[in-house]
Amino acid sequence: MRNPILIALAILVSTISFAQKKELRTAEKAIKSKNYAEAKSALNEAEGMMSAMDDKQKSQYHLLVAEALYAQGTANNTDLDKAIESLILVGKNYPSETSALTTAMENELLTKANAMYKANNFAEAGTKFEQLYHVIPSDTTYLYYAAVSAVSGQDYEEALKHYLKLSDLGYSGITTEYYAVNKETGEEEIFDEANRDLFVKTGSYIKPGERVSESKVGEITKNIAFIYVNLGKTDEALKAIKKARAQNPTDVNIILTEANLHYKLENKEEYRALIEKAIELDPNNIDLFYNLGVLASEAGDNEKAKEYYDKVIEMDSTYTNAHTNLAALILGEEEQIIQEMNGLGTSAKDNKRYDELKQARADLYTQAIPYLEAVLKTDPNNLEVSRTLMNIYSAIPDATNLKRMKTKVAELEGKL
C-alpha cells in the first residue's frame, strides 16, 4: 500500500527538480542576452524552490542572482549591494565564473570610485570604495579609502565606522611600493611590480626601485580621536587620544588635538602644559606661541601674554592677530587710569595727580600705536583699527595723523 505513495513523492521531487533547472536555465539564457528583467523574474521563481536545491544548484542560483543584479555594471547601489552579497554566497563552486565576475566588479567599481573622488563627490566615492571592500574583503585598503572619502566629505559618523573597523582588523597599510621615474615628466610613479618592470623595459621609465610604505596605524588612531572631538564625544576622544599619543608620542598634531580638547573642557592647566610640550617638539610653530599668549591673557597674566605676542611678531612681523592683541592688552590698562582720574577731587595734589595720570594714558596710547599701524600695513581696510587710531591721535593730540585717519575712516565707511 505504501509503494504508490513513494512513487508519487518521487514524481513530485522530480517535478520540482525539473522546474528548478528550467528557471535557472531561463535566467542564465536571459543574462547572456542582457535581458536582466527576465532573468530576475526567473530567479524569483527559483527562489521559492531553494530548500529543494542541492549545494551546487544553490551556488548556481547565487551566481546568477549576482550577475542579474550587477547587470554588467549598470546596477544602482541597492542592487549592487545585493549582487555582492549573493556573489559571496556562491562559495567554492563555479570558481572561474566567480573570479570573472569579481574581477569585473572590482575594475568597474575602482574606476568609478577614483573618478568620483577626483570630482569631489566624496559620498559616492566612499560608497564605491566600501563596496569594493565587500567584493574583495581581503584588501582592506579599499576600506581605508572609504574612510578617507568620508572624512573628505565631512561625514564623520561614516568615517568613524570605517576607522574603528580598520583598527579592529589591525590594518597597518604597510605595503611594498614599486616605483619608477617617468622620463618625460621626471616624476616618480607607483606601480605593481609587473607593470613597473614592463614600463622600465619599454624605456619610458627609469630608476626603478621598491620600498616599504609607512604604517597608517597612527593616522587611523589619530583620526578616530579627531572625529570623536568633532562629534563632541569627549570621553571617547580622550581615550583615543591617549592611544594615539602612546603610538606617536612626538606627533605635534595629536598633542594639539588633546590640548584643544582640554581647552574646550576648561582644563586650562593641561592645555598650557600640552602647548608647551608641542613647542618643545616644534619650536618654530608660530601659532603655538600665539595660543600661549591668548591663554596667558585669559589668565590675567598680561606680562607673560606680551612676551608670547612679542615672540610671535619677532617670528612673523605680519601676524596681525598678535599685533591686535598686544594693542588691546596695552589699551586695556587705560580703564584703571580713567577710574582713578574720575575719583580725584579739585585740590592741588589731586590736580597734580590728574596730570600724571593723563600723561600715563597718553603713554599707553603711544605704546599701542605701532602695533595698530602694523595691523593696517597688513590689513589696510580694517575699519575698527582705523577708528581706534583716529581716536588715539585725537587724544594725544597728533593733528597730522588725525587728519590721515579721519580720511581713511571716511573712505572705509564709504563717505568719500
What is the band of 20 on the pLDDT scale with cuts at 50, 70, 90? low
What is the band of 19 on the pLDDT scale with cuts at 50, 70, 90? low
∠ at Cα 292 (261, 154), nearest 5°? 35
pLDDT at 13 over 70: no
What is the band of 28 on the pLDDT scale with cuts at 50, 70, 90? confident
Range in 29-43, 260-274, 334-348 the model is least confident about: 260-274
- Are 61 and 50 contacting, i.e. CB atoms less than 8 angstroms apart? yes
* Mean pLDDT across 33-47: 88
In-domain check, residue 190: yes
**Cα four-point dihedral sign 35, 41, 42, 43:** positive
In-domain check, residue 198: yes
Instruction: Indicate the average pLDDT of the chain.
Output: 88
Q: What is the pLDDT of residues 359-387, one digit of tens each?
A: 999 999 999 999 999 999 999 999 999 99
pLDDT at 44 over 90: no
| Cis amide leading into 249 (omega within 30) | no
Q: Whole domain around residue 183: which residue ranges?
A: 176-212
What is the band of 279 on the pLDDT scale with cuts at 50, 70, 90? confident
In-domain check, residue 61: yes
In-domain check, residue 67: yes
* Mean pLDDT across 211-232: 85
What pLDDT score does 263 carry? 79
Q: Which of 165, 192, 212 is the last residue in one of the domains?
A: 212
Sheet holding 188-191, edge to edge: 188-191, 176-182, 205-212
pLDDT at 278 over 70: yes
d(CA 219, CA 227): 12
Range in 3-12, 158-167, 286-295 the model is least confident about: 3-12
Q: Which of 73, 93, 113 is the last residue in one of the domains?
A: 93
Q: How far apart are the first and last CA of the chain?
A: 115
User: What total number of domains does the chain contain?
Assistant: 2
Q: What is the pLDDT of residues 48-75, one digit of tens each?
A: 778 778 888 888 889 999 999 999 889 9
* Mean pLDDT across 140-166: 95
In 90-126, which positions are buried (b, 16+ CB within 10 angstroms) versus exposed (e)?
Answer: beeebeebbeebbeebbebbbebbeebbeeebbebbb
What is the band of 223 on the pLDDT scale with cuts at 50, 70, 90? confident
User: Cβ atoms within 10 A of the Cβ of 381, count?
Assistant: 10
Q: What is the pLDDT of residues 314-356, one digit of tens each?
A: 999 999 999 999 999 999 988 899 999 999 898 999 999 999 9
d(CA 67, CA 73): 10
What pLDDT score does 21 carry? 74
Range in 29-33, 185-189, 247-251 the model is least confident about: 247-251
d(CA 122, CA 147): 10
- Are 235 and 199 contacting, i.e. CB atoms less than 8 angstroms apart? no
In-domain check, residue 193: yes
Q: What Rg do the C-alpha atoms of the chain give, in angstroms?
A: 36
In-domain check, residue 382: no
Q: What is the pLDDT of residues 168-202, one digit of tens each?
A: 898 888 888 899 999 999 999 988 899 999 999 99
In-domain check, residue 66: yes
Q: How far is CA 391 from CA 326, 333, 403, in A?
A: 18, 16, 11
What is the band of 415 on the pLDDT scale with cuts at 50, 70, 90? low
pTM of the model: 0.62
Q: Which of 93, 115, 137 is the last residue in one of the domains?
A: 93
In-domain check, residue 49: yes
**Backbone phi, psi, residue 28, to 5°:** -65, -45
- Are 218 and 248 contacting, i.e. CB atoms less than 8 angstroms apart? yes
